[in-house]
Structure 1
Amino acid sequence: MAQNTTHLTRQRPLGSGFTAASTADEVLRGIDLSGTNVVVTGGHVGLGLETTRALSRAGASVTVGSRDPDRAASSLTCVERVEIARLDLLDPTSIDAFATRYVASDRPLHILVNNAGVMGGDLVRDARGYESQFATNHLGHFQLTRGLLPALRAAHGARVVNVSSGGHQLSDIRWDDPHFTTGYEGMLAYGQSKTANVLFAVELDRRWADDGIRGYAVHPGIAFGTALGPWITDDELRAMGILDDAGQPIIDPDRELKTPHQAASTSVFAATNPRLADVGGVYLKDNDIAPLNDPTPPVAFGTEPITLPGVAPHAVDPASARRLWDLSTRLLQPLR
């Protein structure tokens, strides 16, 4: 029984002293990352770009994985100690190539931020027939993280940060049909992928903590232009209270509406804060460990931002986390 309720005790706020309005630079104040090696997927745009900039300013050397290295290079021209490597999370061969190159460089990897992702929209399948949000947001990062395991171990103290979302409350894992062979709904598929991000962090931490590798999942909040699907209309954004009548983004961190620099702060907090040194396998929000929500019905999407205070029980259930790890391994097995 104690093993099955570990997640109930872990999901307790630390009282970090930071808030929903804190920025990435504020949570890094006083932290020197000189000599620290970081990988950020999608680290050239949106939240990933803010994460890369902040970690670089603190002294880290950052490798950015991007499907379009030329575009990434143009975004990162003023960032110090950054390199770019091609990475397509829908292409297993690209993922293996990225991980192999990094491991062959003999650099320890202290921080891996699994940041890149897609959200909602029409049904898209990859070459394997897998639903693209689950394949990109979860399976691609699952394959990448396992490929980078030798470098993570070599750090003798590493952190893996999965960028999840409050959208995890939209859906548990659809164990019988994770690829939506029937009844596709874009936001349910997104919710499933974000639940997978959390469960992956839970099981990674259980399996790898003895190697000094800790896992975290974070909800960054909503940052206009970085976290929303292009298929959402301005009228819908106004109805959700995200845009004002003039079409300008509303900044209200207490309602999860943040600037990109505020939204990137929880990823940076999870990656660096000393108070997390002895705890992992947790979901964070607003620069602290989030509380566990009471079980609730699925959250409707399209009227207002998802503002439940913490993490849904289904996303931190240890039995589900092990089950997802096994499922993910099987889904990748034919390709390995």
Structure 2
Amino acid sequence: MAHWTADNIPDQTGRTFIVTGANSGLGYVTALELARHGATVIMAVRNAAKGQGARDAIAAAVPGAKLEVAALDLADLNSVGEFARSIVSSGRPIDVLINNAGIMMPPRQLTKQGFELQFGTNHLAHFALTLQLLPALEGRPDARVVTMTSDLHKRGHIHFDDLGAVKTYSRTGAYSQSKIANVYFALELDRRLKAQGLPIKSVLAHPGYAATNLQSAGPRGPLAWLLRLTNMFVAQPAEQGALPELYAATAPGVEGGQYFGPDGANEMRGYPKLVQPIDRAKDPDIAKRLWEVSEEMTGVRWP
């Protein structure tokens, strides 16, 4: 795995990937590299015009790239359901789902269904999307679900008594909660898939600190200025930050339940390596409780 780069991605011809948030940042780089290696990529995006622009840019860089743009608004569970149903009802198989999209540290806002925006977008929407797409992943050789989290999950706690952050809202706290929720979800999904004997791998990745528009799209005020400076002087390029999710999605020998991040100091920068989530994120009791709450909130249940 030492110094694994996108050049090491095996040929993906004949395999179909869904990448959420594929129009910019890590999602764009991921879609680009998958297309470069022969994959068919469904670019699931909220803004169709930006998605088409990203598709055109990739097509210009990769002649013959197999790309599709599909509408998916993760802040609206109705949109999530429509997207998933369109894939499953078409009968087309999906080899890998990459739950990449996210929002980071905005002022308190709500999704269309009234959930706190970061928890609703980063966790609940991908929870609902994954469960509804499982029929399209079943039976595919080496099928995978890759869920992107953040090293900031280590600061996260699930506040079951205030998941909507009504009593207290902290931009960083809500983001960290959503990111540790990603970890609980992916590990519980792995446990359930194995218990059912379903050969689909649930894998985690995080990008370290990568310079993307995530830091500018959500934060406001002094925090936005601070993150702009750290993007300039601390962060690694998005091309490097995308490597852990590309490794999780394509590298031979990846196993369900594994977690990949950068190999540099404090997992901030570098090449993909096997890392570990914080110990409390491995608690199966909290994961089971969060799963049950997520089913109630989304109306989507384990099939």
TM-score normalised by structure 2 residue count: 0.87
Distance 1:221-1:227 versus aligned 2 partners, 3 A rule: farther
How many residues end up aligned between the 2 structures? 280
Deviation at 1:178, TM superposition (A): 1.1
**Deviation (angstroms), 1:235:** 4.5
Shift of 1:137: 0.3
Query: Are 2:80 and 1:95 equivalent residues in the alignment?
Result: yes
- Is the 8 Å Cα contact of residues 156 and 211 (structure 1) preserved in structure 2? no
Residues 235 and 65 from structure 1, CA distance in 2 versus in 1: closer, same or farther, beyond 3 angstroms? closer
Amino acid at match of 1:280: G
Question: Which residue in the other structure is 1:284 paired with?
Answer: 260
Provide the C-alpha distance between the structure 1 equivalents of 2:153 and 2:36, rounded to a whole number of angstroms: 31
Give the letter for the 1:53 counterpart.
Answer: L
Alpha-carbon distance in structure 2 between the residues aligned to 1:88 and 1:26: 31
Q: Paired residue for 1:39?
A: 18
Q: Give the CA deviation at 1:237.
A: 4.9
CA distance in 1 between partners of 2:126 and 2:108 (Å): 20
Match of 2:268 in 1: none
Report if the CA contact (8 A) 2:19-2:42 is conserved.
yes
Residue 305 of structure 1 corresponds to none
CA distance in 1: counterparts of 2:35 and 2:66, whole angstroms: 7
Structure 1 residue identity aligned to 2:224: T
Q: Does 1:218 find its partner at 2:213? A: no
Residue in 2 aligned with 1:318? 284
Matches within 5 A, 1:299-310: none
Alignment CA distance shift 1:182-1:103 (3 Å): same
Q: 2:66 & 2:32 partners in 1: Cα distance?
A: 10
User: Contact 2:76–2:113 at 8 Å: present in 1 too?
Assistant: no
CA distance in 2, matches of 1:91, 1:262: 30
Distance (whole Å) between structure 2 residues aligned to residue 132 and residue 27 of structure 1: 36
Question: Kindly tell me: are residues 101 and 74 of structure 1, through their superposed partners in 2, closer, same or farther at Cα, counting changes over 3 Å?
Answer: same
Comparing both chains, which one has the higher relative contact order based on Cα–Cα distances under 8 Å and sequence gaps of 6 or more? 1
Query: Which residue of structure 2 aligns with residue 109 of structure 1?
Result: 94
Q: What is the Cα deviation at residue 275 of structure 1? A: 2.1
Return the offset for 1:184: 0.6
SS in 2 for 1:319: helix
Offset of residue 160 of structure 1: 0.5
- Aligned to 1:51, the other structure's residue is in SS state helix
The Cα offsets for residues 158-188 of structure 1, whole Å up to 9 and x where unpaired, read as 1101110011112111122111110110110
Q: Letter of the aligned partner of 2:22 in structure 1?
A: G
Partner of 1:59: 38
Task: Tell me the secondary structure at the aligned position of residue 94 of structure 1.
Answer: helix
Of 121, 131, 138, the residue aligned with 2:106 is 121
Distance 1:113 1:161 in 2: 5
Is 1:170 equivalent to 2:155 in the alignment?
Answer: yes
Counterpart of 1:233 (choices 220, 224, 234) is 224
- Shift, 1:282, TM fit: 2.7
Q: What's the offset of the Cα at 1:320?
A: 1.8
Q: Is the 8 Å Cα contact of residues 219 and 285 (structure 1) preserved in structure 2?
A: yes
Say if 1:76 and 1:225 are closer, same or farther in 2 by CA, change over 3 A: same
Residue 11 of structure 2 aligns with an amino acid whose one-letter code is D
Alignment equivalent of 2:242, drawn from 240, 264, 267? 264
Amino acid at match of 1:217: L
1:38–1:109 Cα contact (<8 Å) kept? yes
Return the letter of the residue paired with 2:21. G
Determine if contact 1:27/1:268 at 8 Å carries over to the other structure: no
- Paired letter, 1:222: Y
Query: Post-superposition shift, 1:205?
Result: 0.8
Q: Could you tell me which residue of structure 1 aligns to residue 116 of structure 2?
A: 131
What TM-score results when the alignment is normalised by the length of structure 1? 0.79
Work out whether residues 160 and 215 of structure 1, in 8 Å CA contact, stay in contact via their aligned partners in 2.
Answer: yes
What SS does the aligned partner of 2:136 have? Answer: helix
The answer to which structure has the higher helix fraction is 2
Partner Cα separation in structure 2 for residue 327 and residue 114 of structure 1? 20
Secondary structure at the aligned position of 1:129 is classed as coil
Query: Structure 1: any 5+ residue segments left out of the alignment?
Result: 1-15, 244-248, 252-256, 292-310
C-alpha distance in structure 1 between counterparts of 2:143 and 2:239, whole Å: 24
- Matched letter for residue 39 of structure 2: A
Q: Match for residue 76 of structure 1?
A: 55
RMSD value, Cα: 1.8
Q: Which residue of 2 aligns with 1:250?
A: 233
- Identity, % of aligned positions: 36
| 1:327 partnered with 2:303 | no
Q: CA deviation at 1:319?
A: 2.0
Contact 1:201 1:282 in 2 (8 A): no
Deviations 1:248-304 (CA, angstroms, capped at 9, x unpaired): x236xxxxx31111000000000111121xx2123221212204xxxxxxxxxxxxx
Quote the residue 2:176 is aligned against. Answer: 191
Query: SS of 2:233's equivalent?
Result: coil
